[in-house]
């Protein structure tokens, strides 16, 4: 039998949740801050992306296309920056 790793060994945990098309989501503010996407966007992101809901239209690899319930363009965001809307 295989023994468990020593206590000081880092354990790899996959943090990015898996979503399906049609899922309602919002952006996790902590994961979005200081990301490549935040630097490539407006310095003060709109509050609605953090409140939600946005609907996932499509998923390709580690990115999801999100449509907001506002008259704004759809956006592609990394799945690991999204969380379920509640």
pTM to 2 decimal places? 0.72
57 vs 8: which has the higher pLDDT: 57
Provide the pLDDT for residue 67.
97
DSSP string spanning the chain?
-PPPPPTTS------PPP--TT-EEEE-HHHHTTSHHHHTS-SS--THHHH--EEEEEEETTEEEEEESSSS--EEEEGGGEEE--
15 vs 66: which has the higher pLDDT: 66
Provide the pLDDT for residue 7.
63
- The overall average pLDDT reported for the chain is 83
């Amino acid at each position: 039998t295989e023994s468990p790793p020593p206590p000081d060994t880092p354990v790899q945990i996959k943090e990015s949740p898996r979503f399906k098309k049609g899922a309602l989501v919002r952006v996790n503010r902590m994961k979005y801050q200081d990301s490549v996407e935040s630097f490539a966007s407006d310095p003060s992101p709109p509050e609605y992306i953090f409140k939600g809901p946005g609907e996932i239209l499509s998923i390709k690899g580690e990115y999801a296309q999100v449509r907001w319930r506002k008259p704004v363009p759809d956006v592609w965001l990394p799945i690991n920056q999204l969380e379920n809307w509640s």
